[in-house]
Amino acid sequence: MSNVKFYSGENIPLEMHKVRIVQKLNLVPIERRLEAVNEAGNNMFLLKNRDVFMDMLTDSGVNAMSDRQLASMMEADDSYAGSDTFTKLENKIQEIFGKSFFLPAHQGRACENILAQSFVKPESIAIMNYHFTTTKSHIVLNGGSVEEILTEEGLRVNGECPFKGNMDIANLRAFIEKNGAENISFVRFEAGTNLIGGQPFSLKNLQEARKVCDEFSVILVLDASLLADNLYFIKTREEQCKNMSIREITRAISDNADIIYFSARKLGCARGGAICTSNEKLFDRMRVLLPLYEGFLTYGGMSVREMEAMTVGLDETMDEEMINQGPQFIAYMTQELQKKGVPVVTPPGGLGCHLNAMEFVSHIPQHEYPAGALAVALYIVSGVRGMERGTMSEERDKNGIEPLANMELLRLAMPRRVFTLSQVKYAIDRIVWLYENRNLIGGLKFVEEPKILRFFLGKMGTVSNWQNDLVKKFRQDFGDSL
Ligand SMILES: Cc1ncc(COP(=O)(O)O)c(C=O)c1O
């Protein structure tokens, strides 16, 4: 949204785009939603999209594309090796990030595979502001471990801190000193920390971490998948960056990272992934793995059409009016829920609006997956599909012990430029109703639990007959409404 004030004084996010292609949605009756969620083993990933009204599972690969992106896909130059499409993308990455070398990959976790295989040794430690599910799995699969060095504010669900994704610099230095730089695979900064409410880091914090990495000759890796939101927050919340353009902030961030990688399903509103660096030695270590896992160096598992869309999408991400739409819709939703007393993560971050399940359903113990249960309940009462980001998204350790997550969040992603304000208002309405009826929600238990990334494919049962009670109450209050 540009600086547009409403005469009414209301704070409403205004879309700076118009919708020219639409997809029809279905809102099936609550009885069908109950059936559908049980068919899906109470796992939001296993629902069929035809049973979903608002898909707030993720922003990954489901952001709206622009007319320019779609048009660019028609001009793709298809060839296994040396296509012009690749060169265009390489040039765009050099222009935006100032990095000389670029490796394409089919998505973000493919980049993580290459990084983990190149830099993680058995017993080595990857330091992060916060982990992401696939990142951690790749590191652990390669024999390493993850250490999160977040500032104290980062783990507080509520607060005023504008940069809850910051690293604790004193602890970072102390940790490297204690464990020895030779045992650190890399320091990884995640833009817009996915698992703790889409919270950003500041440029200043990154610059300070860079100095520590230089002191100890440790590599600094940036996961830029959620960079668009982080850029917006740096621009609007960080004093030293107020007068910088989005391009200048991007370059300032990039100058502090040895390696940047990202999921283009998120950054650039396309599909695919990318790794870039200006360090030839690091590049060479990663490059040899590319033909083995991703395909040849000039497509890396992506279709040329996607690469064209990514080139344009990255360019459009440098436009403040494009990247502010997500965070402003999220802020609107968060603030409206707060007004009704619904527990949410504050300050509002990027990626989505995050409900604090630990408080929303405080009667459900963590080993009965409060955020997962809340996701199921919200789907039943609204057809809105969110994603559990809590204990269910964690993995058992070597001894089979289940770590309890620091936060139990239900993430309601806001894919960029996809939903209208009335749809967001619908979601708010049903969440408020559910909050008032929260005592009807019960816990979940695993009936099928995969060993790796269990939240994707695991199946759950309910610990009691609570879902039927919820449907009954919905019918009492909403009559024959969908
Ligand atoms: C911060 C972050 N890193 C990495 C990934 C993995 O990317 P992809 O889904 O393209 O494999 C994601 C995906 O959600 C992410 O949010």
383-438 residue pLDDT tens: 999 999 999 999 898 899 999 999 999 999 999 999 999 999 999 999 999 999 99
CA distances from 437 to 92, 327, 378, 412 (A): 50, 29, 11, 19
- What value does the mean pLDDT take over residues 343-361? 98
**Structural domains of the chain, count:** 2
Last residue of a domain, one of 318, 351, 377: 318
Q: Is residue 232 part of a domain?
A: yes
pLDDT at site 382: 98
111 C-alpha to ligand 1 centroid (Å): 10
State the DSSP string of 420-436: -HHHHHHHHHHHHHHHH
Q: Which of 389, 411, 417, 454 is an active site residue?
A: 389
CA distance 454 to 396: 9
Residue 305 falls in the annotated catalytic set: no
User: Can you tell me the distance from the alpha carbon of 169 to that of 183, in angstroms, rounded to the nearest whole number?
Assistant: 18
Given the CA of residue 273, which atom of ligand 1 is nearest to it?
10
Q: What confidence score (pLDDT) does residue 3 get?
A: 74
Residue 4 has pLDDT above 80, yes or no: yes
**Burial class, 20, CB count within 10 angstroms (exposed 0-12 / middle 13-18 / buried 19+):** exposed
Check which CATH number belongs to the domain holding 79 and give it: 3.40.640.10
Ligand 1, atom 3: closest residue by C-alpha: 225
State the average pLDDT over residues 333-346. Answer: 98
With a pLDDT cut of 90, the percent of the chain lying above it is 98
Residue 362 lies in a domain: yes
Q: Is 396 a catalytic residue?
A: no
Among 271, 288, 318, the domain-final residue is 318
What are 263's two structure tokens?
Answer: 């999921």
* CATH code, domain carrying 395: 3.90.1150.10
| pLDDT value of residue 2 | 62
d(CA 265, CA 260): 15
Average pLDDT over residues 34-56: 98
Query: Among 181, 166, 167, 169, which Cα is nearest to 125's?
Result: 181
Buried b (16+ CB within 10 A) or exposed e, 111-122: bbbbbbbbbbee
202 plus 246 within the same structural domain? yes
DSSP, collapsed to helix, strand or coil, labels residue 92 as helix
Q: Are residues 45 and 176 in the same domain?
A: no
Q: Which of 299, 307, 295, 300 is nearest to 271 (CA)?
A: 307
Distance 188 CA to ligand 1 centre (A): 14
Q: Reply yes or no on whether the pLDDT at 65 is more than 70.
A: yes
Q: Residue 1's pLDDT is what? A: 52
Residue 11 scores a pLDDT above 60: yes
Residue 151 has pLDDT above 90, yes or no: yes
Q: Which of 53, 101, 102, 132 is an active site residue?
A: 132
Residues 134 and 233 in one domain: yes
Nearest Cα to Cα of residue 213 among 149, 262, 152: 149
Ligand 1 contacts (CB < 6 A) are: 60, 107-109, 132, 134-135, 190, 194, 223, 225-226, 263, 265, 273
Query: Do 382 and 290 fall into the same domain?
Result: no
CB atoms within 10 A of CB 244: 16
Residue 425, token pair as written in the block: 């208002």
| Residue that is last in its domain, among 275, 291, 318 | 318
Residue 224's domain comprises 67-318
88 in a structural domain? yes
Pocket test for ligand 1, best of 56, 113, 201, 266 (most atoms within 8 A of CB): 266
Mean pLDDT for the chain? 97
Burial class (CB in 10 A: 0-12, 13-18, 19+), 18: exposed
pLDDT tens digit string along 468-477? 999 999 999 9
Average pLDDT over residues 118-136: 97
Q: Is 279 exposed, middle or buried (0-12, 13-18, 19+ CB in 10 A)?
A: middle
Q: What is the pTM of this model?
A: 0.95
Catalytic (active site) residue 201: no
Cα 72 to ligand 1 centre (Å) = 24
